[in-house]
């Protein structure tokens, strides 16, 4: 929920060779991909030049450190206008990493706000051969299945959002309130995919902290504030119209988006990091306190990605597969007492701490999966 968020890199067929990362404030960064070339990126107010500025095609890990930058807190790898991967919210002294599988081409390391914002990064040659045919079949089935899952969930998002925005346009506050969380659920399931499409995710899901000018604030959270904090829908029709247009745009984009196995795994980790960084704290839905709905959607999206990868992972590392499976079951058990809770502000700090612990226990082994399936 930031101006630039961590991206499940939505590569179209023409943008093959991409990976995924975890948010900077998360507790579990994805593990480096096997055999990855290590690239150092030091953020300063002057820029974020990668070192070295070239790598062979294949897995690449970007190790990013904010040395002393006061004006810059993130670095992104771009392929044209597409965010390939990023690390954000890096205050001075903090570091993070993201891993990608890249094909040959020219990319750019981008650090918004720096004196020089963009630096070329070149990938050369061809990636190594893939896995054996049987394992490749499992991995291909996983990525194809995830593509269909995303398409299906966004197909649900579009009408659910319109039901919500219709209530907004009608000035029906209570009905709009009742439809807010159900619409967002579908978005939260596939959130990392939406994050890859430039400004689309901020337009749909930015919080008030994420915009420099509140007059330009759009999306779900702008309407959330109107409903619960302002208690007025005056002037919200254009915001509702734009939200409809933006989710329709997302539907068009995901129709042709393809994925790699490591993206599914890191996307799952990304979703859990979203839980840990904003849902657990109550920061996400600060006006409506519907964070538990988002929490459950993030977990559901993460579990779907893992389940699709499980046939391959069970062959590659059955112990890890079993551990992650059990940790998902533990999360489900931990969430059972909250099945009918709609107001997250009623969940006390001790309960939130326990939820954090069970999410962290899942995120750690799940963050190892990308390196295993990066075949």
Handedness of CA 148, 151, 157, 162 (dihedral sign): negative
- On the question of pLDDT at 371 being above 90, the answer is no
The rounded distance, in Å, linking the Cα atoms of 68 and 91 is 8
Map tokens 């082994």 to a residue.
365
- On the question of pLDDT at 24 being above 50, the answer is no
CA triple 175-297-139, angle to 5 deg = 145
pLDDT at res. 8: 43
- Among 86-90, 212-216, 299-303, the least confident range: 86-90
Which fold would CATH assign to domain 11-124? Immunoglobulin-like (2.60.40)
The rounded distance, in Å, linking the Cα atoms of 362 and 102 is 27
Domain range list for the chain:
11-124, 133-373
- On the question of pLDDT at 10 being above 60, the answer is no
Contact 163, 131 (CB under 8 A): no
- On the question of pLDDT at 15 being above 70, the answer is no
Contact 83, 9 (CB under 8 A): yes
pLDDT at res. 167: 98
Share of the chain above pLDDT 70, in %: 90
Q: Which is it for strands 50-51 and 37-43: parallel, antiparallel or unpaired? A: antiparallel
- Global pTM? 0.80
pLDDT at res. 345: 95
The rounded distance, in Å, linking the Cα atoms of 160 and 213 is 28
Q: Which residue in 272, 365, 276, 374 sits closest to 324, CA to CA?
A: 365
Collapse the DSSP code of 66 into the 3-class scheme (helix H, G, I; strand E, B; otherwise coil) and give the result. strand
- On the question of pLDDT at 19 being above 50, the answer is no
The rounded distance, in Å, linking the Cα atoms of 369 and 141 is 17
Side-chain-side CA neighbours of 216 within 13 Å: the count stands at 9
Query: Which alpha helices (H) appear in 90-226, and where do they start and end?
Result: 133-169, 173-189, 191-194, 200-205, 220-224
CA distances in angstroms from 130 to 140, 252, 298, 369, 373, listed in the order given = 11, 30, 30, 17, 11
Strands of the sheet containing 118-124, edge to edge, are: 54-56, 118-124, 105-110, 75-79, 82-87
3-class DSSP string for 68-90: CCCCCCCEEEEECCEEEEEECCC
Q: Which residue in 79, 241, 95 sits closest to 87, CA to CA?
A: 95
pLDDT 10s digits, 94-115: 887 777 778 899 999 999 999 9
pLDDT at res. 1: 44
Side-chain-side CA neighbours of 15 within 13 Å: the count stands at 23
- On the question of pLDDT at 85 being above 90, the answer is no
pLDDT 10s digits, 231-284: 999 999 999 999 999 999 999 999 999 888 888 987 898 898 888 777 888 989
Mean pLDDT, residues 313-337:
96
Contact 122, 53 (CB under 8 A): yes
- On the question of pLDDT at 5 being above 80, the answer is no
Q: What are phi and psi of 351, to 5 degrees?
A: -65, -40
- On the question of pLDDT at 313 being above 60, the answer is yes
The rounded distance, in Å, linking the Cα atoms of 30 and 86 is 12
* Cβ partners under 8 Å of residue 318, min gap 6: none
Q: Which residue in 324, 338, 330 sits closest to 291, CA to CA?
A: 338
pLDDT at res. 265: 87
- 105 burial (CB, 10 Å; 0-12 / 13-18 / 19+) is middle
- Among 261-270, 283-292, 329-338, the least confident range: 261-270
Q: Which residue in 3, 10, 375 sits closest to 197, CA to CA?
A: 10
Mean pLDDT, residues 51-64:
92
Mean pLDDT, residues 200-227:
93
Strands of the sheet containing 20-21, edge to edge, are: 20-21, 95-102, 58-66, 37-43, 50-51
Report the CATH number of the 133-373 domain: 1.20.1420.20
CA distances in angstroms from 170 to 27, 164, 167, 205, 343, listed in the order given = 42, 10, 5, 22, 25
pLDDT 10s digits, 112-151: 999 999 999 999 998 776 678 889 999 999 999 999 999 9
pLDDT averaged over every residue in the chain: 87
Collapse the DSSP code of 171 into the 3-class scheme (helix H, G, I; strand E, B; otherwise coil) and give the result. coil
pLDDT at res. 129: 67
pLDDT at res. 175: 98
pLDDT at res. 25: 38
């Amino acid at each position: 929920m930031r101006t630039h968020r961590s991206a499940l890199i939505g590569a179209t067929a023409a943008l093959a060779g991409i990976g995924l990362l975890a948010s900077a404030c998360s507790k579990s960064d994805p593990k480096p991909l096997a055999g990855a070339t290590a690239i150092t990126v030091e953020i300063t107010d002057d820029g974020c030049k990668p070192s070295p500025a070239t790598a062979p095609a294949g897995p690449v890990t970007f190790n990013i450190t904010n040395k002393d930058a006061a004006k810059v807190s993130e670095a992104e790898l771009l392929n044209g206008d597409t965010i390939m991967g990023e690390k954000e919210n890096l205050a001075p002294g903090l570091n993070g990493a993201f891993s990608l599988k890249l094909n040959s081409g020219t990319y750019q390391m981008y650090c918004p706000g720096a004196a020089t914002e963009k630096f070329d990064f070149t990938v050369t040659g061809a990636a190594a051969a893939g896995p054996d045919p049987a394992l490749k079949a499992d991995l291909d089935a996983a990525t194809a299945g995830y593509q269909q899952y995303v398409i299906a969930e966004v197909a649900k998002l579009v009408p659910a959002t319109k039901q919500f925005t219709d209530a907004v346009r009608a000035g029906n506050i209570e009905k709009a309130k009742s439809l807010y969380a159900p619409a967002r659920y579908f978005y939260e399931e596939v959130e990392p995919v939406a994050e890859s499409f430039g400004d689309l995710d901020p337009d749909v899901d930015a919080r008030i902290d994420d915009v420099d000018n509140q007059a330009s604030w759009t999306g779900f959270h702008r309407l959330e504030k109107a409903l619960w904090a302002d208690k007025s829908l005056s002037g919200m029709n254009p915001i509702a119209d734009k939200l409809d247009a933006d989710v329709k745009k997302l539907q068009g984009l995901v129709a042709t988006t393809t994925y790699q196995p490591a993206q599914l795994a890191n996307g799952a980790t990304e979703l859990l990091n979203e839980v840990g960084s904003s849902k657990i704290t109550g920061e996400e839905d600060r006006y409506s306190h519907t964070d538990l709905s988002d929490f459950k959607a993030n977990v559901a999206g993460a579990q779907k990605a893992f389940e699709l990868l499980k046939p391959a992972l069970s062959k590659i590392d059955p112990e890890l597969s079993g551990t992650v499976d059990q940790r998902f079951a533990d999360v489900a058990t931990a969430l059972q007492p909250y099945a009918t809770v709609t107001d997250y502000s009623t969940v006390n700090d001790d309960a939130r701490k326990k939820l954090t612990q069970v999410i962290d226990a899942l995120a750690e082994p799940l963050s190892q999966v990308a390196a295993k399936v990066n075949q």
